[in-house]
Amino acid sequence: MRGKFKYISPFLATLALILLSVSGCTVPESFTPPPPSNATETIEPNWTFPTTDNQSSTLLPNFAAVVTKVKPAVVSVTTEVAKGSGFVIDGEQGYIATNEHVVANAQNIEVTMDNGETFSANVVGEDALTDLAVIKVDASDLPYTHLGNSSSLAIGEWVLAIGNAFGMGLRVTEGIVSGSNVTITLLSGEKLYALIETTAAINPGNSGGPLVNMKGEVVGITSAKILGAENMGYAISSSSAKPIIEDLIRQGYIIRPWLGVHIQTLDWLTAWLNNLSVSEGVLIAEVVPGSPAEAAGLKKGDVITKFQDKEIDTAQALQEAILDCYIGEKVEITFVRGRVTKTTHAVLKQSPSPWS
């Protein structure tokens, strides 16, 4: 249409230049299109990319040297129902750290060293809340590991996971630290805290094995992974595991504040079957004789709905609320009995020995 701009395709433009050349019209070799009228103030004729520093490129660490140092102290752990891993923490007394879920309810525990030597092991102490356990073999002069300071780990730092992957013997996977102080919820509803997240592959059988830094120090105890997720494995940090391991060796269990109730999360079906007036809270299935709960007047069938100033809707929430208190602390508990809401107070005691 007359008076309007017409589009010229790149092909036609090229063809026009060829025709001009053939007809004797040429484009000067030094021709440079003029800059936009508003760009003259920003043009820098001498600009180049900033130079790189003089530091040499970072090479990958020597994984083989780390494996040579640590792997002899890593063990495969086999029970009637599980295959997992562990690592020697005291070579003279035969103490081995692992996960609680690897040895839970086990009657027979077999430990195989990296060199093929096999021992029977006994449980020294275990703690389901932190998923940590210590077992012991009747042997001495064993290679052992050193616990490092996990709080000094940096995101992006290289780590290695060593363990009895798929029960096929010790395997090594590499990765980096991708997260710190992570909390995850297990399929059982339990939570694990202060975890290290890593891209190193964590496979079934790795549980209880060490996560080590490039100094060959144990900075974590591999414990879990998110099903269906790649490159997202989790290890209990050495800083949080160390005092638990020490207490398990010294006294066989962990001392914590204790209320003395066996509980379950209340749902609508349980509430209906028991003709309860509420359908949310924590149902008391049993009160331990001589416990703070008994002294406070709590009874089987009561539903706890509040602990101190925290609303309680799951058994996990009540357990966490108790752990936030201290031994000897007087706590306020709100509960429902029948159709009446009541309040009582309990003085938390030290958790009793599991053998008492």
Domains of the chain (ranges; CATH) run 71-137 (2.40.10.10), 150-251 (2.40.10.10), 257-350 (2.30.42.10)
**Active-site hit among 85, 127, 131, 238:** 131
Asked whether 165 and 77 are in contact (CB, 8 A), the reply is: no
What was the pLDDT predicted at 48? 85
What was the pLDDT predicted at 18? 44
Question: How many CA atoms lie less than 13 Å away from 156 in the CB half-sphere?
Answer: 1
Is residue 180 helix, strand or coil? strand
Give me 19's structure tokens.
Answer: 């025709």
Q: Is 21 a catalytic residue?
A: no
**Active-site hit among 85, 150, 207, 291:** 207
Other C-beta atoms lying within 10 Å of the C-beta of residue 188:
9
DSSP state of 79: -
**Active-site hit among 76, 85, 101, 150:** 101
What was the pLDDT predicted at 37? 61
Q: Is 37 a catalytic residue?
A: no
Asked whether 189 and 209 are in contact (CB, 8 A), the reply is: no
Angle at alpha carbon of residue 123, lines to 118 and 126, rounded to 5°: 135
Global pTM exceeds 0.85:
no
3-class SS shares of the chain: helix, strand, coil, % to 5? 20, 35, 45
Is residue 15 helix, strand or coil? helix
Q: Is 101 a catalytic residue?
A: yes
Can you tell me the distance from the alpha carbon of 300 to that of 311, in angstroms, rounded to the nearest whole number?
A: 20
In angstroms, how far is CA 356 from the centroid of its own chain? 32
What was the pLDDT predicted at 55? 61
Which pLDDT tens digits describe the chain residue by residue (356 residues)? 444 445 555 544 444 444 444 444 455 555 566 666 665 567 888 888 887 766 666 677 899 999 999 999 999 999 999 999 999 999 999 999 999 999 999 999 999 999 999 999 999 999 988 999 999 999 999 999 999 999 999 999 999 999 999 999 999 999 999 999 998 887 766 778 889 999 999 999 999 999 999 999 999 999 877 666 678 899 999 999 999 999 999 999 999 999 999 999 999 999 999 899 999 999 999 999 999 999 999 999 999 999 999 999 999 899 999 999 999 999 999 999 999 999 999 999 999 987 76
Can you tell me the distance from the alpha carbon of 72 to that of 87, in angstroms, rounded to the nearest whole number?
A: 9
What was the pLDDT predicted at 22? 43
